[in-house]
Amino acid sequence: MMSDFSLGGEFVWHPTPSYIDGSHLQRFMTAHGIKTLPELQTRSVQDIAWYWETILDYLGIEFFAPYDQILDLSGGKPWPRWCVHGKLNIVHNCLDRWMGTAQQNVAALRWEGEQGEVRVLTYGDLHREVNRVANALRSLGLARGDAIGLYMPMTPEIAIALLAIAKIGGIILPLFSGYGSGAIATRLRDAEAKALFCADGGYRRGRTLNMKRTADEALSQVPSVEHVIVHRRTGADVPWNPGRDHWWDELVAIQPATAKTECTEAEKTLMIIYTSGTSGRPKGTIHTHCGFPIKAAHDLAMCIDLRPDDVLYWMTDMGWMMGPWEVFGTLILGGTMVFFDGAPDYPGTDRLWKLVENHGISKLGVSPTLIRALMVHGEGPVKRHDLSSLRAFASTGEPWNPDPWMWLFQVVGESERPILNYTGGTEIGGGIISGNVHTAVKPAAFSGMIPGMDADVVDSTGNPIRGQVGELVIYQPWLGMTKGFWKDPDRYIESYWSTFPDMWVHGDFTVIDGDGQWYILGRSDDTIKVGGKRLGPAEIESILVSHDAVIEAGVIGIPDDLKGSALVGFVVLKPGIEATEPLANVLKELVTSNMGKALKPKGIVFVPGLPKTRNAKVMRRVIRAAYLDQPIGDLSALVNPQVLETIRELGIQGRL
């Protein structure tokens, strides 16, 4: 996929003194005698140990015991050790250190529910509630090293639970609130979870969802879970398992408001965030106390410029990386975060813009999928609200196309507020490239590397290229990168370090144009992004083949105007089974019940066979190319290339 590349885009936003003066970037550079952003970038990767140690100091990170060495690379680049022998619990830096200061009276979390209810928790309030939940966990016998799942809507309780797990030295397992029971069970079972936080239910577009029932279905397959703590969100009647299940309000209310913060090693596991891969079970990316949260705060400061007087809302779920990222990063920096438990266009299409006005949101994190959905309603819903609090947008999830980017910039941003594109991944612990408030912005582009990230674009031989599409790579480790995959170190090495020697290959097709602007063009592996959520096709395929009628299946993503990509399953049926629309609907619902409605396939296509290599690998790339009637490339490795013509014909006929 190497070709000459030219977007021909022009810069549409230029930084002004009001953005530059007082920014984190400016303060950091001034403190270290650095005059320009390129100079900072160069220095940050020439001496990564200096840079990240200096960042720890800039963020005011406090250790219980100092580290001996900031960075140890004796295990090689894939296995760096950070803050060696240091002791650190990140909750101390999010909450404890603010107590006794003016910060304890500042709003830490503003929450609004779908039905309009609002709650505001100061840093002091949040500290007390986290302490109570930490004590509740300890009363159940849960302790350091125990894995605890989070399956809840975006209410204040999910942030409290996340921080309480970390406070006792436990391992956080964030789970997408829209998952079906199968996806929940797989992740809890893999991590051998001891407990689960869930809610009785949630609200979505006026409907009540029974999350507790879904959790119980999952837990029937997870014998390691001994305790379930249930938050009353809807008040609905729910199944109950006496002895195992506990109501949040009854268990937590009786607990003291003070609690010890566990003294943990800086590199102890803080969190396992599961992300789908292209083969096998979901990948459990391991993150530590001195890793992910520091990277989150760093990126929020250096890329998004979140200052203490900022109010940040990122449209996300705690089950995706950006949920914990928002919590840890905002609290370390002393800002205010907003949670919204509802749909951004319900009950009116102006709900998001109303949130901005009501909560004084200054930094708004969105996805291209969200803006594509909102722009169809035109300018009216936007113009009904005072958006003067907004200073900047941030975006992540999937590549933009120019029209929705320009709509957000011109209509909502009034051509004055920058859109700071930000991309990286769960394994990164944050971003690789991003916009920032010091650099001019082109539509849909990234301004460049984030300080501390030694990134590049290379060709198939690993050599740097410009103006052509290549692989996004990283040459050196960074604070925040995953410590590997849970119980699967070989898969981690194979996924990121096996293509070129000592080089992280991220799996994104990328190009750098003549003005130094970066563009992400899509995944170079089989991973699919649906509405900004990364999904491994193998996980969906395993669900399809669990049906008695199915021999094998291949899943791809096809372009979708709303979600970026939509799932299509290609299914081979057993002999004698008729390919019918009712069967296709059954298979769609099978995936939906396991993975959640957000990941329902757009279509099921019945085919006589799947294109495979001689070692039986299903070639999803060529399935996608054939179905979309695109150039397929070299087919010499296939044993059955003839099936591609059938797939191409089905695509042309538009069976979806």
Domains, the chain: 17-88+293-523 (3.40.50.12780), 96-252 (3.40.50.980), 536-653 (3.30.300.30)
Query: Which pair of tokens denotes residue 149?
Result: 């799942």
According to DSSP, the residues that pair with 122 across neighbouring strands are: 107
What pLDDT, on a 0 to 100 scale, did the predictor assign at position 562?
82
Reported for 233-236, long-range contacts at CB under 8 A and 24+ positions apart, including other chains, are 233/152, 233/153, 233/155, 233/199, 233/200, 233/201, 233/202, 233/203, 234/199, 234/200, 234/201, 234/202, 234/203, 234/208, 235/200, 236/200, 236/201, 236/208, 236/210
If phi > 0 it is left, if psi is from -120 to 50 it is alpha, else beta; for residue 397 that is left
What pLDDT, on a 0 to 100 scale, did the predictor assign at position 296?
98
Look at the alpha carbons of 361, 365, 369, 371 in this order and tell me if their dihedral is positive or negative.
positive
Q: Identify whether 308 is preceded by a cis peptide bond (ω within 30 of 0).
A: no
Sheet containing 455-458, strands listed edge to edge, beginning at the edge strand earlier in sequence: 455-458, 470-474, 504-512, 518-523
127: Cβ–Cβ under 8 A, 6 or more apart, which residues? Answer: 95, 96, 98, 99, 104
Amino acid in the structure at residue 319: G
What pLDDT, on a 0 to 100 scale, did the predictor assign at position 538?
72
What pLDDT, on a 0 to 100 scale, did the predictor assign at position 275?
82
Query: CB of 197 within 8 A of CB of 158?
Result: yes
Query: CB of 56 within 8 A of CB of 289?
Result: no
- Which residue, among 101, 97, 95, has the nearest Cα to 123 in the 3D structure? 95
The residue with tokens 């590199």 is: 267
Angle between the 292-302 and 48-58 helix axes, to the nearest 10 degrees? 80
End-to-end CA separation in angstroms for the chain: 28
CA distance 587 to 376: 31
Amino acid in the structure at residue 143: A
CA distance 243 to 420: 49
What pLDDT, on a 0 to 100 scale, did the predictor assign at position 655?
47
What pLDDT, on a 0 to 100 scale, did the predictor assign at position 3?
34
CA distance 529 to 536: 9
Cα–Cα distances (Å) from 611 to 36, 216, 570, in that order, read 52, 39, 11
Residues of the chain under the 70 pLDDT cut: 1-8, 276-281, 525, 534, 613-617, 633-637, 655-656
What pLDDT, on a 0 to 100 scale, did the predictor assign at position 113?
97
